[in-house]
Amino acid sequence: MAVEPVLRMKGISKSYYGTKVLDNINLTLMPGEVHGIVGENGAGKSTLMNILFGMSVIHSTGGFEGSIEIDGQPVEIRSPLQAMSLGIGMVHQEFMLLPSYSVAENIKLNREVLRPTLASRIFGPRLQSLDYSRMYADARKALQRLNIGIDEYATIAGLPVGYMQFTEIARELDKEHLRILVFDEPTAVLAESEAEHLLRAIKEIAASGIAVLFITHRLSEIMEVCDNITVLRDGRQVVTKARKDTNVIELAELMVGRSMDFRAHKRKESHNSRPILEIRGLSVDMPGERVRRVDLTVYEGEILGIGGLAGQGKIGIANGIMGLYPAAGEVRVAGTLLELNNPKAAIAAGLAFMSEDRRGVGLLLDSSIELNIASGAMFGTGRFVKTWGPFSQVDQEAVRANAEKYISELDIRCTGPQQAVRQLSGGNQQKVCIARALTMNPKILLVSEPTRGIDVGAKQLVLDTLRRLNDELGMTIVVTSSELAELRSICTRIAIVTDGRVAGILRPDDPDAKFGLLMAGQPISKGA
Amino acid sequence: MKAKGILKDMDLARLIIAAFFVLLCVAAIALKLNAAELITSSLTRMGMWGVLVLAMLPAILAGTGPNFGVSLGIVCGLLGGLLALELAYRLEGAVYFSPWALFLTAMIFSLPFALLMGIGYGWILNRVKGSEMMIATYVGFSIVSIMKLAWVFLPFKSPEMAWPIGRGVRVQIALENRGLAQLLNNFLAFRIGAVTIPTGLLLTVALALFLMWLFLRSRTGMALAAAGSNPRFAEACGINVDRQRIVGTVLSTVLGAWGILIYSQSYGFLQLYEGPMFMPFVAVAAILIGGASVKKATIAHVVIGTVLFLGIQVVAVPVANAFTAEWSSMGEISRKIIQNGVILYALTQAGGE
C-alpha cells in the first residue's frame, strides 16, 4: 500500500514588490520523514515557512503562486490559526513563552483543560475553572515524549535556554492531530549537549509518524537526522536529495555556489606589508551579533572581508572596535594599543566606520548633506571649526567646499549640498556615508554591509568606489558583509565568522565548498 | 508637490492659530479698541517672554524635550534678584548701586544657582530618558513648592522684601524703589504716534537670539544638536551624549533665570511663591505654536511662537471682554484653552515622523 504524502507544496513562487524571493519550489513530505532545508540568509527558507503558515505578510503582499496539499487534499491556508488546525506545528527561533507562567501552563496556553463550575453553569463557559491536575498530566506526557526531565511545575523564567526550547516543542507535541512539525533553526541557541538531545528528540518524534521539516544552516545536524535534504539558494530549489546520496561538502558547495566572475579584480597579496590592525581576543557584547574572542590581523593596503551568516557575530567586530558596543580584548592600530569602549579614541586613532545601520547610526537624516559629510571630522577631530579660546564657530565655507568636492567626486545625486539626507536614495545616502568617512582621513576604513538596502545598480557603484579607494589611495579597508559574492569580488582575504569566532580565513578564489563549510561551522578537513 | 510641501511645513495647527490671531486683530479694529495700546502692550509682552521661550530651544535641541521644568531656572533668577536687592539694602549708604549695576548683580548672583541646579537637573533627566517631559513637569512643581518654604525661612532683612511683621518675604516685591522697574523697556524707548516701542527690551531679546545663533554654530552647539537629533549617530561621532544633554539643560536653566529677571523688570515686581508655577507652560506653548515639535526646534520657531502666542494673549483679553462684558474672565479662559490645547496637540505629534 502506497503511503500518501502528508504535505505537498507544488510550484511555490512568491514576489515581494516585484523581487522574486521564491521561484517554483516543490516539496513533498511523507509521514515520519525528517526533511532538511538548508540555505544562506535570504535563500527563501523563512518565506517558504511563512507561506506554509498562512502568515499575514504573505497575503498582505499579494499572496503566492502554487498550491499546497495536505493528505492529498488541496488546502488554502489563510492564517496561522488555520495552519494549526490542519495539524501544522512550529517551533520558533525566538521563544514565544510567558516567563512568569509554569512550564505546564505554557504548554497548555489557550488550550487549557477546563472544568465546569457552579458559576459557569449559570453564567456560561467563560467562568469554567482550569483543571490543573489534568493539565500537568498532559504536559508531563508531552515532555516524556521528548525524554527530558523538565519539571512541569517550574516557571519559565530562570529555566536554561535549552529547556525553553523543549517547552516549545512539548507545546506543539501536546496538540492533538499534529501532523507536521517545523523546526526553524532550533539549535541556534542551544549548547552542544542540548542540541544533541534535540536531534535525538526529533528522531523520536519522526518515528511516531509525525513529519518534520528541519531548517538549519548547520550541515552536520542535517546529515545526522534528515532523510531527505532540499537546498535553497536565492529563492530557487537547487536540489532535493536523499541523505545517503550526498555529503557535507557537496551541500556546502550547493548552498554557496554562484557563478562568480573573478576577472576584474586580481587582488595583490599584501602579506608582506606590515600589520596595521591587530585584534587579539576581542569579545563584543552586541545583542544578536555576539563576538567571542576574535583574533584577526589586517595588513596595510588590503581589503579584508568579514563574512558569515547573520547572527554569528561578524557585525559585532567593527562595532566593538569603534566603541559602539561593550567590548573587551586587545586592539592595536599601527602598533598602538587602542582604548576600547570609547568612540572618540577610535576616531582619534584613525579609524572611520560606515555603520550597517545607515539610517540609524550613520546619518543625521534631517540635516544637510554638507553637515553630514563634515560631521565625522568636525566632532571627531575638530576640523571645519575655527576657535578663539573657549569660543568656536563652524567654518561654513570649508564645510561647503568639502561637500561640493565629494558630491562631484562620488557623483552624489542631489539638488545641492544643503539638501536633507533623508530625501536621497539609499545608494546616494551610502555615498554620503563614504564621503563622511573619507573626510576623516582615516588610516583604516571599517565598512559594514555597504550594499544593504540599496538597489542593484548603486551596489556596484559603491563597491567600485571602495575598490578605487584601495587602488588609488592605498587605503586599508575592512568590509563586513552578508553577501559573500560581494566580498569575493573586492577583497584580498575573507575571514568567515561563525559562532562569534573567526572560523577561517580564505582567499576569494577558494572553492565554494570551503566557504560553505566554514559558514556552516564545519572545520575544513584536509582534501576539502 | 511644492504646494504640498509648504502646507506640510505650515501644518494645520499653525494655520489655525495664525488665522485666529488675524481674526482677533480684525475684531479688535472692528470693536474700535485702542490699537496703539494693544500694539504697545503686545510688543512689551513679547519682549518679556522672549528669553523664557528661547530657554526651550537648547532643551529641545539636546533631546530632552521642551523644558517643562524651567521653573527651576526661574526660581534661581528670583533668588539672584532677591540677593541683589538684599545686598543693596545691606550696603545702603556705603555703596550706591545704580539700577543697571543692580540688574547685572542679580544676573550674576543667579548664575551659580542656575549652573548647579541645571547640572543636577540634567543628571536627573539623563536617568529618565524617554519620560523627560513628565519628570520635568514634576521637578518644576516640586521646586516651586520647596522654594515656597525657602521664601519663608530665608533671612532677608530688606524692608521692601520682608513682611513688616513675622518672617519671610512678600508675595510680590516691587522693583520701583530701586529704579529697576521697566529699566530695559525705557532704555532708548521712543514713540511712534501713540505706540511706545520698548527698544531696550526688544534689543535684549534680539541679543539673546543672536548669541544663541552663534552658540548653535559653535562646535558645542553642533554637538548638542547632533546628540539630540540622533543619539546613536552622535555617539559614533565620539560625542558624549549625556554631557551634551546636561549642557542643554544648564543653558535652558540659565536662560530661565535671566529670562525671569528680564520679565520681572518689565512687570515691575518679582513674583514669588505660586508665581513661577505655571510659567513654563506658557513658554512651552509659545515655542510649539511657533512650529517646534518636542524633538525639533529652531530660532525661527522661538520668534514666530513668541509673536503669535503672546500677541494672542494680549489681544484676546479685551476682545473677549468686549463681547462678554459681564463675563470678564473670558479672555483668560480662551488663553488657557489655546495654551493647553497646543501643548496637548504637540504631545500627540511627538511620536510621528
- Residue B231, min C-alpha distance to chain A (Å): 8
Cα-based angle B268, B271, B274 (whole degrees, multiple of 5): 155
Q: How far apart are CA B255 and CA A417, in angstroms?
A: 33
Q: Residue for cell digits 530562570? A: A158
Query: A248-268 burial, b for 16+ CB within 10 Å, e for fewer?
Result: bbbbbbbbbbeeeeeeebebe
Q: How far apart are CA B15 and CA A228, in angstroms?
A: 67
CB contact under 8 A, A393 and B220: no
Contacts of A319 in chain B (CB under 8 A): none
Q: Residue for cell digits 491536575? A: A133
- For chain B, helix, strand, coil in percent to 5 are 70, 5, 25
Residue A12 cell numbers, joined:
511555490
Q: Does residue B235 sit within a domain?
A: yes
Task: State the best of B213, B230, B244 to mutate against chain A, taking most chain A CBs within 10 Å.
Answer: B230
Task: State the best of B8, B213, B237, B239 to mutate against chain A, taking most chain A CBs within 10 Å.
Answer: B237
Query: B226-239 burial, b for 16+ CB within 10 Å, e for fewer?
Result: bbbbbbebbbbbbb
Q: Closest partner residue to B230 among A322, A364, A393, by Cβ?
A: A364
Residue B292 cell numbers, joined:
517646534
Q: Where are the alpha helices (DSSP H) in A410-481?
A: 426-439, 456-473
- Residue B223, min C-alpha distance to chain A (Å): 7
- pTM (2 d.p.): 0.76
The band of B234, judged by pLDDT with boundaries at 50, 70 and 90, is very high
Of A80, A88, A91, which Cα lies nearest the Cα of A170? A91
CB contact under 8 A, B233 and A364: yes
Least confident span in A268-282, B123-137, B244-258: A268-282
CB contact under 8 A, A344 and B232: no
- Please report the DSSP string for A152-195 in residue order: TTSBSTTS-HHHHHHHHHHHHHHSTT--EEEEESTTTTS-HHHH
Least confident span in A81-95, A326-340, B27-41, B102-116: A81-95
Q: Does residue B68 sit within a domain?
A: yes
Per-residue pLDDT for B96 more than 80? Answer: yes
CA dihedral defined by B213, A412, A433, A460, rounded to 10 degrees? 170
Q: Where are the alpha helices (DSSP H) in B128-240?
A: 132-153, 183-186, 199-216, 219-229, 231-236
Residue B97 cell numbers, joined:
548701586
CB contact under 8 A, A391 and B218: yes
Interface of B with A (CB under 8 A): 214, 217-220, 222-223, 226, 229-230, 232-239, 296
Q: How many helices (H) and strands (E) does chain B have?
A: 15, 4
Task: State the best of A339, A364, A370, A429 to mutate against chain B, taking most chain B CBs within 10 Å.
Answer: A364
Q: Domain with B141 in it: what CATH number?
A: 1.10.3470
Return all residues near B95 (Cβ < 8 A) that are at least 6 apart.
none
State the complex-level ipTM.
0.82
Contacts of A377 in chain B (CB under 8 A): none
- Cβ–Cβ under 8 Å, residues A497 and A294: yes
CB contact under 8 A, A379 and B217: no
pLDDT for A175 equals: 84
- Of B156 and B7, the one with more pLDDT: B156
For residue B232, give the chain A residue with the closest CA. A361
Q: How far apart are CA B66 and CA B315, in angstroms?
A: 26
CB contact under 8 A, A355 and B236: yes
Q: How far apart are CA A214 and CA A36, in angstroms?
A: 5
Percentage above 70 pLDDT, chain B: 93
Interface of A with B (CB under 8 A): 322, 324, 342-348, 353, 355, 357, 360-367, 371, 375-376, 378-380, 382, 385, 387, 391-394, 396
CB contact under 8 A, B238 and A347: yes
Average pLDDT taken over every residue of chain B: 87
pLDDT for B350 equals: 55
Contacts of B218 in chain A (CB under 8 A): 385, 391-394
- Cβ–Cβ under 8 Å, residues A187 and A9: no
- Cβ–Cβ under 8 Å, residues B306 and B19: no
Q: How far apart are CA A251 and CA B342, in angstroms?
A: 63
* Average pLDDT over every residue of B273-282: 90
CB contact under 8 A, B238 and A367: no
CB contact under 8 A, A375 and B217: no
Q: Does residue B189 sit within a domain?
A: yes
Per-residue pLDDT for B315 more than 50? Answer: yes
CB contact under 8 A, B233 and A362: yes
pLDDT values of chain A reduced to their tens digit, one per residue, 528 residues = 467 889 999 999 988 777 778 889 999 999 989 999 988 766 788 888 889 988 888 888 888 889 999 888 898 888 888 888 888 988 876 677 888 888 888 888 878 888 888 888 888 777 888 888 888 888 888 888 887 778 888 888 877 777 888 888 888 888 878 889 998 877 766 777 778 888 888 888 888 889 999 988 778 888 888 999 999 887 888 888 888 888 888 888 888 765 444 444 445 554 567 899 999 999 999 888 889 999 999 999 899 999 988 778 899 999 999 999 999 999 999 989 999 999 999 999 999 999 988 888 889 988 999 999 999 889 888 889 888 888 889 999 999 999 999 999 888 888 889 999 988 888 888 999 999 999 998 999 999 988 877 766 677 888 888 988 888 888 899 999 988 888 888 898 999 998 889 999 998 888 888 888 888 877 765 443
Residue B147 cell numbers, joined:
522654594
Q: Does residue B308 sit within a domain?
A: no
Q: How far apart are CA B133 and CA B66, in angstroms?
A: 7
pLDDT for B5 equals: 47
CB contact under 8 A, A361 and B237: no
Total domain count, chain B? 1
Handedness of CA A85, A88, A91, A93 (dihedral sign): negative
Q: Does residue B331 sit within a domain?
A: no
Contacts of A392 in chain B (CB under 8 A): 218-220
- Cβ–Cβ under 8 Å, residues B276 and B68: no
- Residue A366, min C-alpha distance to chain B (Å): 8
Count of CA atoms in the C-beta half-sphere (13 A) of A122: 2
Of B225, B215, B56, B77, which Cα lies nearest the Cα of B136? B56
Helix (H) or strand (E) holding A320: helix A314-321
- Residue B210, min C-alpha distance to chain A (Å): 13
- Of B317 and B184, the one with more pLDDT: B184
Q: Residue for cell digits 537629533? A: B229
pLDDT for A262 equals: 45
Residue B209: which domain range? 50-299
Rounded to the nearest 10 degrees, the angle between the axes of helix B99-127 and helix B241-267 is: 140
Contacts of A394 in chain B (CB under 8 A): 217-219, 222
For residue A349, give the chain B residue with the closest CA. B238
CB contact under 8 A, A385 and B219: yes
Per-residue pLDDT for B266 more than 80? Answer: yes
* Average pLDDT over every residue of B202-221: 94
pLDDT for A269 equals: 53
Per-residue pLDDT for B210 more than 90? Answer: yes
pLDDT in tens, B329-341: 776 777 788 778 8
Of A372, A463, A379, which Cα lies nearest the Cα of A422? A372
CB contact under 8 A, B239 and A379: yes
Contacts of B239 in chain A (CB under 8 A): 379
- Cβ–Cβ under 8 Å, residues A471 and A270: no
Q: Does residue B55 sit within a domain?
A: yes
Residue B244 cell numbers, joined:
551634551
Q: Closest partner residue to A343 among B218, B219, B236, by Cβ?
A: B236
- Cβ–Cβ under 8 Å, residues A320 and A282: yes
pLDDT for A2 equals: 63
pLDDT for A515 equals: 87
pLDDT for A54 equals: 87
Per-residue pLDDT for B351 more than 80? Answer: no
pLDDT in tens, B153-197: 888 888 888 887 778 888 889 888 888 888 888 898 888 888 889
Ordered by where they begin, the domains of chain A are 1-86+179-246 (3.40.50.300), 98-178 (no CATH), 275-350+443-528 (3.40.50.300), 361-441 (no CATH)
Residue A333 cell numbers, joined:
592600530
- Cβ–Cβ under 8 Å, residues A69 and A7: yes
- Cβ–Cβ under 8 Å, residues A279 and A244: no
Q: Where are the beta strands (DSSP E) in B232-296?
A: 269-271
